Structure 1
Amino acid sequence: MAGHSKFKNIMHRKGAQDKKRSAMFSKLSREITVAAKMGTPDPDMNPRLRAAVIAAKAQSMPKDNIQRAIDKASGGDVENYEEIRYEGFGPGGVSLIVEALTDNRNRTATNVRTIFSKNGGNLGASGSVSHGFDRMGLIEYAAKAGDAEKVFEAALEAGAEDVQSSEDGHEVWTAQDTLHEVAKALEAVLGEPEAAKLAWRPQTMVSVAEGDAGSLLKLIDALDDDDDVQTVSGNYEVSDEVMEKLG
């Protein structure tokens, strides 16, 4: 389990309970509304909105919910959300980047700081860990999209910078300014991806021992449970053996 994913891995680990699913839809809706408000409400003309809609579809969010979130952007009562990034450290020396959309900066900052301190981590200053990450485009495909060779060839032709394939699926990395160009080229060959987004790619990974892994995952779960937190990225790597022991 690597640490650049959004909340998908956490949802898989904890099970898709109704409560978790509702919280997931709420976060996805917020991102869709913000993206639509910042640009055009047409996903084909608004790369950020298109990425948000793709993420929502990947989580089986109903089309009506997606459309309502888009329509909300043009309403007069839509909340004004602010994008905030927090950086900190978790158990085992792991670096974490937390991205939030909030209508109350003080509430979110207090919550995030408390979650870090209660779960063996500490919040750092802006820039304290992001220097160890590259901001890149990430396009994710399920394993059923094709074998590693097929995806690699398609990604190379589309202009991607790197591909990582495993039994769980494929990750295609691009320069951030070519993300949507590469995503469209890949979609023509492989179909619609599970995600096409900007992500934080660690420059080096930290292998987390069993003793720290449980605490780290609790910290990530707690951050993900916060209503304002949209993504949690990190440079952690937890082996399959340790994940099995943790259950």
Structure 2
Amino acid sequence: MSSPFDLPAAAAASDAPAPATASDAPAPAPAVGGAAEDRDTRPQYVLPLVVRLERADPPARTDALETSARAVLTLLADPRTTDPDGEWTERVAAWEDARIRKVVRRARGGEWRKAGELPGITVTGPGGAEVRVFPPIPLDGWPKELAKLQVSGTDLDDPEPPAPVPDGVPVLWLNPTLEMSAGKTMAQTGHAAQLAWWALDDAHRGKWAADGFPLAVRTAPTAAWPALTDGRLPVVRDAGFTEIAPGSATVVADHPALHAR
């Protein structure tokens, strides 16, 4: 939980105390100074993500996981975040200065429409999954439109097995030995995508963004998991507050550019 962030072999702690589904990790070392415990004393922010979950037409699980990851990347690359005087720049910097928390909630019907009226970005997956990401907010500063949304019950399935991943597409590999709800896994894939973003240089970030953030989420083959977590690639490790044991490696961010260094 308190280990420093070290690129590229990142091992980020994740998850916030129940009932929130969240990722909670050290900020990237290049972005901030001070020890990890110093970040715990700073004002804490959370990145809200809301998935549209209509009763009659829920998204496929993999589409939702991939869309959540793209939503996080889209916010990180948005000019409102990257420009020095951007509307969200200060809040994102404050969020990254402390613990990197993400909370996934679900909405349908009127709740989804009201959430869409708040500043944010809606990302739609190839299968129709919709995820809206909002700029970071203080842990105790949730807008009423989001505060009332439910965290639990975000359980999704894939009607068909995911297709093979095209060559050259970044993959967020899920731990094959863990069982996590869709909402928790969406937070984890969003965090893994952020670790990959931090690990890339500006040229590779720009190309990934220009291409529309292609990526895939797949469960790793059991035999391949030890090699994926050997320290060469960014790894999300869970703090163990909800669903799984502390220290569990949940997702590995495998971007082709990370193998070329």
Using the size of structure 2 for normalisation, the TM-score is: 0.28
> Whose Rg is larger?
1
More strand by share: 1
More helix by share: 1
Using the size of structure 1 for normalisation, the TM-score is: 0.29
